[in-house]
Structure 1
Amino acid sequence: MSKIRIYDPAMCCATGVCGPSVDPELTRVATAIFLLEKKNIDIVRFNLGSEPQAFIDEANVQELLNTKGTDALPAVIVDGEVKLAGRYPTNEEFADWADVPVRELTKTENKSKGIELL
């Protein structure tokens, strides 16, 4: 099973899905992560604003920050390898790394199964 780590830029809360103006991309990512966690996928998300030590501890992220600055965030490390820098994964990428069908990472699929999201 893959080990997925997401390193977010500094945000107001753990998911960035708060405040008066919610970014739909952050909502999509939060939903995908929630659904993967429910499937016991090893996925963890770190926020630069509240968990800076995680960024220091991960050499790949430290290197990205040294070369590209915070424009490299969000960064995604899968099994110790940098997979993305500067954008969030698509649902297809999440599904590929987690070895699950992409349809299982959408609200529509899970609402029909009676799962309440957000």
Structure 2
Amino acid sequence: MKKVEIYDPAMCCSTGVCGPSVDPELTRVASALYSLEKKGFNITRYQLTNNPDKFVENDAVNSVLHEEGIDALPVVLVDGQIVKLGCYPTNDELAEWFNVDLEELKEKPKVRLSIDLNSL
């Protein structure tokens, strides 16, 4: 099974729905990765803000940062090899890497909200 690691730039969240405006690219990636993770695929995301140690520990990512700076983020690795710099994988690429149908990556996360009316 393929292992995908994404080294994100510094940001407040990986979903793209925080801050003053929604980033549709981050929303697309978060949704696609959610669908893949739900199916049990091996995907890990590291944020420079929350996981700076992971950027230092990975020699390839550390080298990219030293040579090209933070503008090279995100860095995407498949099975330990860098496959993308400065942009996220497309849904087509994710579908190919994990051998899934493209439509499977469009499933939206479902949020359940429960309200106890007796506590109001």
**TM-score with structure 2 setting the length:** 0.86
- How many residue pairs get aligned? The number is 112
Matched residue, 2:110: 116
Q: Check conservation: 1:14, 1:46, Cα contact below 8 A.
A: no
What is the CA distance between 1:116 and its match in structure 2? 2.6
Matched residue, 1:50: 50
Taking only aligned residues, the RMSD between alpha carbons, in angstroms, comes to: 1.7
Name which one, 1 or 2, has greater alpha-carbon Rg.
Answer: 2
Q: Check conservation: 2:5, 2:76, Cα contact below 8 A.
A: yes
**TM-score with structure 1 setting the length:** 0.88
Q: Tell me the amino acid that sits aligned with residue 78 of structure 2.
A: V
Matched residue, 2:20: 20
CA distance in structure 1 between the partners assigned to 2:64 and 2:21 by the alignment: 29
CA distance in structure 1 between the partners assigned to 2:55 and 2:100 by the alignment: 28
Q: Tell me the amino acid that sits aligned with residue 116 of structure 1.
A: K
1:1-118 → structure 2 map (5 Å cutoff): 1-107=1-107, 116=110
Deviations 1:58-116 (A, max 9, x none): 11111110111011100100001000000000001111111211111013xx6xxxx73
Q: Secondary structure at the match of 1:89?
A: coil
Q: After alignment, is 40-49 or 13-22 more displaced?
A: 13-22
Q: Secondary structure at the match of 1:45?
A: strand
Q: Secondary structure at the match of 2:88?
A: coil
Gaps of 5+ in 2: 113-120
CA distance in structure 2 between the partners assigned to 1:21 and 1:100 by the alignment: 31
CA distance in structure 2 between the partners assigned to 1:91 and 1:49 by the alignment: 25
Gaps of 5+ in 1: none
Q: Tell me the amino acid that sits aligned with residue 104 of structure 1.
A: E
Over the matched positions of the two proteins, sequence identity in percent amounts to 52
Q: Secondary structure at the match of 2:6?
A: strand
